[in-house]
Structure 1
Amino acid sequence: MSETDQVPQPEPKVLLLVDGSSYLYRAYHAMPDLRAVPGDPTSPATGAIRGMINMMQKLRRDVRADYAACVFDAPGKTFRDDVYPEYKATRSPMPDDLRAQIPAIHEVVELLGWKVLNVPGVEADDVIGTLACMGTERGFVTIISSGDKDLSQLVNEHVTVIDTMNDRRRDMTGVEVEFGVPPRLMVDYQTLVGDSVDNVPGVDKVGPKTAVKLLKEYGSLDALVARAHEVKGAVGENLRKALDWLPKGRELLTIRTNCDLKDHIPGFPELEDIVIGGQDVEKLKAFYDRYGFKGLVKQLEEHEVPPELIEENRKKARAERPAPGLFEEPDLSGLSQATTLHYETVFTWDQFETWVQRIEAAPLVALDTETDSLDEMLANIVGLSFSTEPGLACYIPLAHDYQGAPDQLPRDDVLQRLQPWLEDPERKKLGQHVKYDRHVFANHGIDVRGYAHDTMLESYVLEVHKPHGLASLAERHLGRTGIDYETVAGKGAHQITFNQVPVDKAAEYSCEDSDQTLDVHLALYPKLERDTKLRFIYDLEMQCSEVLYRIERNGVLVDAQALARQSHELGQRIMQLEREAHELAGQPFNLGSPKQIGEVFFTKMQLPVVKKTASGAPSTDEEVLEKLAEDYPLPAKVLEHRSLSKLKGTYTDKLPQQVHPRTGRVHTHYAQAVAVTGRLSSNEPNLQNIPIRTAEGRRIREAFVAPAGCRIASADYSQIELRIMAHISEDEALLRAFREEADVHRATASEVFGVALDQVSSEQRRYAKVINFGLIYGMSAFGLARNLGIETAAAKSYIDRYFQRYPGVKSYMDETRLAAKSRGYVETVFGRRLYLPEINSPNGPRRGSAERQAINAPMQGTAADLIKLSMVKVQEVLDREQRETKMIMQVHDELVFEIPEAEVEWARVEIPRIMASVAELRVPLLAEFGVGSNWEEAH
């Protein structure tokens, strides 16, 4: 028979087994807090149900199967609990919200066409192991979908495990590459290492590397046990101690492949009952209606197609898709998204021009830069990716320079060709953390305009309490997993820069980033458009991103010589403190070592123990030192030493090293999507935490200077959170104090202590100031007493009198707590949502903390909104009037400027006026303005 006459062999049947228990936990943690009644945190949770639907639908699209089952753990004990009562004893209980969703998850998985199995007394892994073994006996190809590494022991020529979370494929080669041993030795490997998740001990001090080394040397666990007397050192000693345990450990960790499933699969041991079925459309509609999944109902109605057409489209997609992977297609979730992916690497000018035409014709383009550094002021472009529609993306490699790298288009020529589009504000662009990309393009002389959207900020506004990284967003909202950076560039000491990443890997990674960014935007932006208040906050964040980019780009000038002098003086004082501390202790000791401090304080000197650490040792944290310093001189010396050492290490030594070599300035980075209140955070260097309560801390601000011909100016909102409290609470006494421009702390003292305004003492005003700000932060009577150094009963009396005089404040606090418990979040004056996941927690301290946050967050969040509105408005005026004044720092409620001397008087009048007029509250806003040759003088 000739080769052309040979009869084609039929493709083997595919058995797809889903680790349902792994899936449901992943679905629960990946999805937002969805409820059957949207916005009502008291209604049943549905996030895990929705996530499970997304994942099961996606898996069915991605993996062709003839037989399929979704296997869950059944409640109750298994044989392992009888063998070892401590089995899984350290696991946290399943969250109640998740447990309540399990029956519905089982129901919907069946309606989607899957056989659902949960076998009493048998773990899901053992059911999967039995079915996988049966599949191998029948010549099936078996695919197990799970993130559980334990299932790797089932892998053979016919069984593969796919990890949907990390897009990892564990076939025989994959297992050995990942763990260092072949699948046949996985049980031996696990027995030596143990399983901390399931509370199964291994051999003490034997980790993965040692286990691999032993198994390679001896060939198997049995051979190792037989020759345990030969193993030297601590490893050998620990191995011999564990010999009696190892058989039981192996029994616990071995997945069974011979479970009797006849009561759960009719016709067992035949598998016809788990042939994959079609979804029950009518029952699914009723199910989706019941749980409020309107988008899924619409999807069912709009996308019902004959099964034969579905299969035809699948074949077509597989044929058209380049370099197919298992988990490339996004979950539709009611959106109009591509069913295939087309990623192209651009090497020629013809390809490039084709893509330029696509980019110029698209209404919105997602773009991503790949660079050689995470430092946005130093990073150079290595490559660019663009996505013009879901599933369609290109990567343009420009500066990959490893040995053997393919020829690439010249970077400068490509950027010059793209520059008109990049700098056109009418050409709408989209990115993930666009501020970074703006800096990178600016490093190449391109001022990108027209960034219309940023998926990081969309997430930050919609779900501030969730992670905002692209990988997390894609998984949470699309069910898509992707390639992480460490996969292409390595990690730790072995990580390479992106210019060393092979172009093919770089292209897949970068195209996926742009493609997912566009998909995430399509999922998130409609939610913002439907909510006027959230849309306002999002627009504000986008405008603020532009201003922050300019602040970061401007940088601030520091006097390195002044810092060097301060550093020397601090060093002298630190050494003097060490000598004085050693004299007081009667011995030398390391003032930077908590252990040695503890030994001197509590063992030698027998100082009282204020509190203990989690391990039971006496604590030497700052709070303890401050308490002890009230009565003992040595803790005061240690406290001062610690404070000055931090100043020296963090600022006077480090700031000169952070001066940018090209600009001669320090350029901080403002993280915009971190704080749940909307506040910005500054890092590398942190310019917001320079201490100002000590003379040494304030001197550091003296080193922030203006260049010749300029001055430093500071504009700071006055008592902003108290003003916001007056506005929100509508308390008449507070409103009156601010409207009359009274000293609000003196007015509060007058009310609380029942004395005339002109009779208020400085001590009473100090108490009133602590009460005013303490109550804003939800301070209790105990906290107030500790802060003022008075008895708790006296503090409670002050709080009671405060609320009698300011009943509107008390009403606000009570109503806010109730509203937060009902909705799960509070809002700023402008509509920013501040979520409180622990507000209904059964844990008293956590719930109490959330209640305090509920009171403070609207004020702190509104203050954050106001300073952002001010930044945007001030920059708008500076641009419109073509002023040379530069905004160079933002520090909480303060803006710092570098102002030409000719514009100082204009700024002194206009900047406070602009800041005071960005919003109309029930009380006037007041911004104070100062000017000096350095930041400290201005402030």
Structure 2
Amino acid sequence: MAKIIIVDGNSLINRAFFALKDLRNSKGIYTGGVLKFTEMVLMLIDDFEPTHFVIAFDMKGPTFRHLSYEAYKGTRTGMSDELAMQMPITKEILDALNISRVELQGYEADDLIGTIAKQAKNAGIEAHIITGDKDALQLAAEGVHVHITKKGITNLKDYDDEAIMEEWGVTADHVIDFKGLSGDSADNIPGVKGVGPKTAQKLLAQFKTVENLIENVEEVENQRIRNLIIEHAEEALMSKRLATIHQDVPIEIDFEAFKIVEPNLEATIGLMKQYELTSLLNRIKPTEKPAVETIAIEDVICDPEKVIKAANKAGKIYIRTAVEPSKERYMTCYGMAMNIDGKLYYVEGEAQLQALKPMLESDEIAISGFDVKRDYLWCLSEGIALKGIDFDGYIASYLINPARRNYLFEDILFEKHQLQIDGEEVLLGKGAKKKAYADIDHSSLKAFLCQQVSYLPILTESLMAEIKEAQLDLLLKEVELPLIEVLADMEYIGFKVDMQTLDELGTAIETKINEIETEVYRLAGENFNINSPKQLGVILFEKLGLPVGKKTKTGYSTSHDVLEKLMNKHEIIKEIIEYRMYAKLKSTYIDGLKAVVDEKERVHTSLNQTIAVTGRLSSTEPNLQNIPIRLPYGRKIRKIFIPDENCTLLDADYSQIELRVLAHLSEDDTLIKAFREGLDIHAITASQVFHVAEDEVSSLQRSRAKEVNFGIVYGMGDFGLSESLGITRKEAKSYIESYFETYPKVQTYMDGLIEQCKKDGYVETVLHRRRDIADINHSNFMLRSAAERTARNTPIQGSAADIIKLAMIKVYHALKENEMATQLILQVHDELILNVPEGELEKAKAILKEAMETAYMLDVPLKVDMNTGASWYDAK
């Protein structure tokens, strides 16, 4: 039998939004509602296996109910901006998925649902209504099932007459009469004043309908109730009309159009990538996997000599490895699959893999892979100097779309070629039960790697075509691929840790936490678990009576933004914020570091090329880029990191690189002159913004001017600047206007950048690193404004990231060419740190300064500040 799912779109997306309320993508666009709603739709299709599917949405503007009763739904607040920006995105995705949707001006989604359900029943199609609104219970009938969501669609309750009677005391036929009498506060339907649900149930048990009750009101025994019915008869009838779902809306219903069909894969994949919803891609993949045509068991051999001979003849190989790191950053390889001229080769075992060294170290063999840095780290562990890196599909995928959340081989292959193969998660599992490669049997591992490497050539070809089309080939070949060696070397070397200082600082921070804890208890008047949001909420909002900000499902919100708004309301707030900062400091940088320090008392952070959309490197496990240095103890964390024995640390930091990039890109004469002459750019800005002579600029004015300078770089408007400086929007606006009067070409550049982006759909850095700005022409103001901020900031921050990467490559190779023992060991945004042996310091300084200041020639000089010290703290 044909079956149709009819979804109340607004009801479900509201629930979806609150399930993932704070989820945003890299552009700052809220996407939680879109993600959860789409998951719900796909899950409904899986669970109900319908033949037809349609979603009904409300439209903006009054309905016929508003016209008959002005206060209808008058108590409801409007849709939040965070959800409103997701509605057009949701509808775009539904259209790409070929999921039908309906909406009609003047009618609510309920009326469309009722009309479709009625016509479906008449057409012999079994109807299932999915909604969170119990108004729909009136539609329940034979052939029409009403499912009410409780917490998403994993907890649906199917209502029939028996269930409605049990909960409401009436049958589906009389739900509207029940609301006519008792009203509905959610929709601001008045009902009969003084008549509650229990009274309504009793009256309807006797009189069945509102009309019959009014006609026979004299039969009502209770005089007070009788008088109320007489007095409010019109309200009762009007309330019933308001609650009645119309099932004859003048809309053409075409059940053929509601049939389930295959999604438009290309459009769907494009939107998932555009809005960074790649986790949904697995849900839309074809159910049948393609046969692996290229794998032939006779081609899979394990003789390293034959592999090397084939590689030398071909001059090009594709590799996929099963490589796992240890805490020491040493890598173990459990197997390597190679595709050479269309034939597959597989080698495993330490001795056999080591025998591939001549091939891996050859300058004559081009190597293509996927996440080659892992392979490089394994080679370092084995004393192999990997050469010939020609292509990395992992990094290429990132350059093509830097906004993705992950770059899994199987996902990229599916998106580019609609081929579905098993990924690492299928092989190893996930979560607490995830296996290591060491736990996988040889045949499964071989089949997995051989299948992946069999598709690597076609994936490489398609990715390279996109790279060339976007003019990213120079960035890939001259920056990102050479950087693999640099980063792998840095990770492998690691950073020395002073364990005694680490222990001492841990003790000091713990003492500080205990002191704050004691003060919090004193101010609260009792001991409680500060780490429990529920207990903290009770203390703040019930015992101390502070104004309630947000509420969550489990109670009061005590998030950082809520506490910040209460800062001046009670002195306990400052202590709680401090407690959280120090507790995080201890867990992340004391306990966290102890967990990853190796036997040689070194930590090996991962420096990632494919996380930040701007092109910046990111540091993880441990994160050494985000140490909270504004806290006194946060700064002291840097004392933990020390040079090797008989060495010193050399720290070099670009001075105001983003402002210098802005001067270069904008070609502003005043900015260029200031940097060329070594003037104080913040003092110049303060002088113009506050209309005072440069030598009269106060420290506060200079500080505010600094915020303005960097605020412009980050695309900040008057609202953002007012929040940052704690001033009115009017003041912030005047600051920005004065800034653009001082640097007129900056405004011309910014305006031109937006116009160019609207035309091209993307912005670029000085090295043509590209970032698509999907919503730059969006009709939704909030989406468009967020896109414009991103467009302004990306070329500046991304160019600074390009320059520091060029500097790293230059420094690394200069040290090698000069046969120095000095090592590059860490990069933190615009800062490089070197471990320098005694006797090499002056030469290392000269190399570092020259490499960084000539990494890229701007119209203004790049300036580097250098310091040395016996710890990172001392060198900074």
2:543: which partner in 1? 604
Matches within 5 A, 1:686-701: 686-701=623-638
Compared with structure 1, are the counterparts of its residues 656 and 74 closer, same or farther at alpha carbon in structure 2 (3 Å cutoff)? closer
Residue of structure 1 in register with 2:316 after alignment? 364
Task: Give the Cα separation in 1 of the matches to 2:571 and 2:149.
Answer: 50
Which residue does the alignment assign to 1:185?
none
Q: Residues 23-74 of structure 1, C-alpha deviation per residue, up to 9 Å, x if partnerless? A: xxxxxxxxxxxxxxxxxxxxxxxxxxxxxxxxxxxxxxxxxxxxxxxx9968
Query: Which amino acid in structure 1 is aligned with residue 492 of structure 2?
Result: R
Residue 419 of structure 1 aligns to which amino acid in structure 2?
K
For 1:328, the equivalent position in structure 2 comes to: 290
Q: 1:541 to 1:639 in 2, by over 3 A?
A: same
**Counterpart of 2:338 in 1: which secondary structure?**
strand
**Cross-structure match for 2:332:** 380
Matched-pair contact (CA < 8 Å) for 1:537–1:830: no
Show the counterpart of 1:201. 156
Partner Cα distance (1:245, 1:639) in 2: 54
Change (3 A) 1:501 1:653: closer
The answer to whether the Cα contact below 8 Å between 1:713 and 1:897 also exists between their aligned partners in 2 is yes
CA distance in 2, matches of 1:861, 1:831: 10
Residue 447 (structure 2) aligned to one of 491, 508, 520: 508
Secondary structure at 1:393 match in 2: strand
| Aligned residue in 1 for 2:397 | 459
Offset of residue 347 of structure 1? 8.4
Counterpart-to-counterpart distance in 1, 2:392 and 2:384: 19
Matches of 1:199 and 1:416, distance apart in 2 = 52
CA distance, structure 1, for counterparts of residue 814 and residue 440 of structure 2: 45
| Cα-to-partner distance string for 1:509-566 (whole Å, 9 max, x where unaligned) | 1112212222211111133335545433453111111110111011000101101001
Equivalences for residues 574-653 of structure 1 within 5 A: 574-609=513-548, 611-612=549-550, 618-630=556-568, 632-653=570-591
Contact 2:396 2:476 in 1 (8 A): no
2:283 pairs with 1:344? no
TM-score normalized with structure 1 length? 0.64
Match of 1:764 among 685, 691, 701: 701
Partner SS for 1:840: coil
1:871 maps to what in 2?
808
CA-to-partner distance for each residue in 1:461-511, whole Å, 9 max, x for gaps? 122224422111101111111012233333444433223323332222111
Aligned-pair distance for 1:603?
Answer: 1.6
Contact 2:315/2:364 (<8 A) preserved: no
Letter in 2 for 1:344: I
In structure 1, distance between residues paired with 2:831 and 2:625: 10
Structure 2: where are the runs of 5+ without partners? 1-49, 57-82, 101-114, 126-144, 173-254, 257-265, 267-286
From the superposition, tell whether residues 425 and 193 of structure 1 become closer, same or farther in structure 2 (CA, over 3 Å): farther
Q: Is the 8 A contact 2:328 2:604 kept in 1?
A: no
Of 563, 576, 579 in structure 1, the residue corresponding to residue 502 of structure 2 is: 563
Alignment-derived partner of residue 743 in structure 1 = 680
Gaps of 5+ in 1: 1-70, 78-89, 106-119, 131-189, 205-227, 229-236, 247-262, 265-287, 289-324, 331-339, 399-410
Counterpart-to-counterpart distance in 1, 2:875 and 2:650:
5
CA drift of 1:92 comes to 7.2
How far apart, CA to CA, are the structure 1 residues paired with 2:298 and 2:697?
A: 75
CA distance in 2, matches of 1:646, 1:639: 11
595 and 866 in structure 1: CA distance in 2 versus 1, 3 angstrom threshold:
same
User: Secondary structure of the residue that 2:833 maps to in structure 1?
Assistant: strand
State which of 389, 394, 398 in structure 1 corresponds to 2:345.
Answer: 394
Give, in angstroms, the shift of residue 373 of structure 1. 5.4
Query: Percent identity between the aligned chains?
Result: 34
Distance in 1 (CA, whole Å) between partners of 2:578 and 2:96 is 54
8 Å CA contact retained: 1:376, 1:439: no
Q: CA offset at residue 738 of structure 1?
A: 1.0
**Cα deviation code 1:127-168 (max 9, x no counterpart):** xx99xxxxxxxxxxxxxxxxxxxxxxxxxxxxxxxxxxxxxx
Contact preservation (8 Å) 1:329, 1:480: no
Distance (Å, rounded) in 2 between the aligned partners of 1:534 and 1:632: 57
SS in 2 for 1:902: coil
1:916-937 alpha-carbon deviations (Å, 9 max, x no partner): 1111111111011110011011
Partners in 2 of 1:102 and 1:576 — Cα distance?
A: 57
Structure-2 separation of matches of 1:904 and 1:592: 47
Contact 2:300 2:345 in 1 (8 A): no
Give, as a single letter, the amino acid of the residue that structure 2 aligns with 1:682.
S
Q: Give how far 1:638 is off.
A: 0.8
Q: Deviations over 1:209-247 (max 9, x none)?
A: xxxxxxxxxxxxxxxxxxx9xxxxxxxx99x999x999x
Tell me the SS of whatever aligns to 2:824. strand
CA contact (8 A) 1:461 1:534 kept: no
Alpha-carbon contact 1:345-1:507 (below 8 Å) kept:
no
Partner residue of 1:485?
424
Are 1:345 and 1:395, in contact at CA under 8 Å, matched by a contact in 2? Answer: no
Q: Deviations over 1:375-408 (max 9, x none)?
A: 6824422211111245x42333x3xxxxxxxxxx
Secondary structure at 1:395 match in 2: strand
Shift of residue 630 of structure 1? Answer: 4.1
In the alignment, residue 863 of structure 1 is paired with which amino acid? A
Instruction: Confirm or deny: 8 A CA contact 1:395 1:507 kept in the other structure.
Output: yes
Shift of 1:694: 1.8
Matches within 5 A, 1:298-317: none
The match for 1:536 among 435, 455, 475 is 475
Q: How does 1:167-246 map to 2 (within 5 A)?
A: 201-202=156-157
- CA apart distance, 1:733: 1.5
Shift of 1:93: 7.5
Relative to structure 1, is the Cα distance of residues 354 and 743 closer, same or farther in structure 2, using a 3 angstrom cutoff? same
Aligned length: 656
Q: Distance in 1 between matches of 2:171 and 2:326?
A: 49
Q: 1:203 to 1:554 in 2, by over 3 A?
A: farther
Q: 1:513-532 maps to which residues of 2 (within 5 A)?
A: 513-530=452-469, 532=471
Alpha-carbon distance, 1:869 to partner: 0.5
| TM-score between both structures, scaled by the size of structure 2 | 0.68
The answer to whether the Cα contact below 8 Å between 1:343 and 1:511 also exists between their aligned partners in 2 is: no
Equivalent of residue 415 in structure 1, options 353, 360, 375: 353
Of 826, 836, 855, the residue aligned with 1:889 is: 826
Aligned counterpart in structure 2 of residue 428 of structure 1, from 355, 359, 366: 366
Give the Cα separation in 2 of the matches to 1:428 and 1:800.
Answer: 54
Q: CA deviation at 1:779?
A: 1.9
The CA deviation at 1:595 is 2.3
Letter in 1 for 2:314: A
SS at match of 2:719: helix
Amino acid at match of 1:497: A
| Alignment check: 8 A CA contact 2:301 2:346 kept | no
Structure 1 range deviating more: 631-640 or 578-587: 631-640
Aligned counterparts of 2:414 and 2:770: Cα–Cα separation in 1: 23
Distance in 2 (CA, whole Å) between partners of 1:608 and 1:803 is 40
Q: Which amino acid aligns with 1:387?
A: N
Structure 2 partner of 1:442:
380
1:837 deviates by: 2.4
Q: Could you say if the C-alpha distance between residues 692 and 731 of structure 1 is closer, same or farther in structure 2, counting changes exceeding 3 Å? A: same
Per the alignment, in what secondary structure is the counterpart of residue 698 of structure 1?
helix
Secondary structure at the aligned position of 1:380 is classed as strand
Q: How far does residue 816 in structure 1 lie from its aligned partner after superposition?
A: 1.7
Distance apart, 1:598 and its partner CA: 2.0
Residue type at the aligned position of 1:513: Q
| CA displacement, residues 260-291 of structure 1 (integer Å, 9 cap, x when unaligned) | xxx99xxxxxxxxxxxxxxxxxxxxxxx9xxx
Among 497, 507, 512, the residue aligned to 2:436: 497
| Aligned counterparts, 1:659-678, within 5 A | 659-661=597-599, 663-678=600-615
How far, CA to CA, are the matches of 1:245 and 1:702 in structure 2?
73
